[in-house]
C-alpha cells in the first residue's frame, strides 16, 4: 500500500491549492498526471481532458484569482487502494476574484482522484463545484 505516500501527496496538493488562490498554478500543475487521460472539471466551464487542456484550464482559473488566503480543508471521505485513491473535501478559501477589489469567500465541494504513476501519486481527476447546500430538483434544469 502507498497510504503514507498519499498522505504526503495530499499535503503537497493542499499547499499547491493555497498557491493557486494567489494566482499561481505552477505547483498544482506539477502534481497532475502527465498522461493524456488526466481530467479537470472546475466550476468555470466544461471538463478538460488531456495535459494541455488541463493546464490551460488551470492557468485561466488562476489568472482570475489574487491575494488569496490559505484554504481550510474538511475531509468528508477518502479511500486508498494500490493504484487509485480518492478524497472528497470541502475547501474554503478567500480571495479577490475577477476584477473585484473585495476579498470574497470561495467554498467548494471537491472530489480528487489520485493514481499511482511511476513510483508516486499524481492527480488523475479533480472535480470542484460550489454546491454546499440542498437545492431543489428544478435547479438542474437549464433554461
How far is Cα 50 from Cα 66, in angstroms, rounded to an integer?
Answer: 26
Predicted pLDDT at 2: 75
Return the closest-CA partner of residue 50 out of 37, 31, 60. Answer: 37
Place of cell 470542484: 128
Are the CB atoms for 4 and 80 separated by under 8 Å? Answer: no
Identify the pLDDT of residue 70.
Answer: 85
Query: What is residue 4's predicted lDDT score, i.e. its pLDDT?
Result: 84
pLDDT of residue 29: 97
> Kindly report the CA angle at 54 between 65 and 7, in degrees rounded to 5?
80
- 37's CB contacts (< 8 A; 6+ apart) are 49, 124
Q: Are 115 and 124 in contact (CB under 8 A)?
A: yes
Task: Output the tens digit of pLDDT for each of the chain's 143 residues.
Answer: 576 899 999 999 999 999 999 999 999 999 999 999 999 999 999 999 999 999 999 999 999 999 999 889 999 999 999 999 999 999 999 999 999 999 999 999 999 999 999 999 999 999 999 999 999 999 999 87
Residues present in the chain in total: 143
Query: Phi, psi (5° rounding) for residue 27?
Result: -65, -40
pLDDT of residue 35: 97
Instruction: Decide: pTM greater than 0.75.
Output: yes
In 3D, which of 143, 125, 107, 138 has the Cα closest to residue 50? 125
Amino acid at each position: 500500500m502507498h497510504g503514507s505516500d498519499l498522505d504526503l501527496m495530499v499535503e503537497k496538493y493542499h499547499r499547491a491549492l493555497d498557491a493557486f488562490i494567489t494566482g499561481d498554478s505552477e505547483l498544482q500543475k506539477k502534481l497532475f498526471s502527465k498522461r493524456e487521460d488526466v481530467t479537470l472539471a472546475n466550476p468555470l466551464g466544461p471538463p478538460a481532458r488531456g495535459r494541455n487542456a488541463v493546464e490551460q484550464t488551470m492557468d485561466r482559473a488562476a489568472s482570475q484569482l489574487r491575494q488569496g488566503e490559505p484554504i481550510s480543508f474538511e475531509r468528508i471521505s477518502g479511500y486508498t487502494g494500490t493504484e487509485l485513491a480518492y478524497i472528497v473535501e470541502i475547501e474554503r478559501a478567500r480571495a479577490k476574484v475577477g476584477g473585484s477589489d473585495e476579498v470574497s469567500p470561495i467554498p467548494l465541494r471537491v472530489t480528487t482522484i489520485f493514481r499511482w504513476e511511476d513510483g508516486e501519486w499524481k492527480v488523475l481527476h479533480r472535480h470542484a463545484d460550489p454546491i454546499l447546500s440542498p437545492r431543489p430538483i428544478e435547479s438542474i434544469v437549464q433554461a
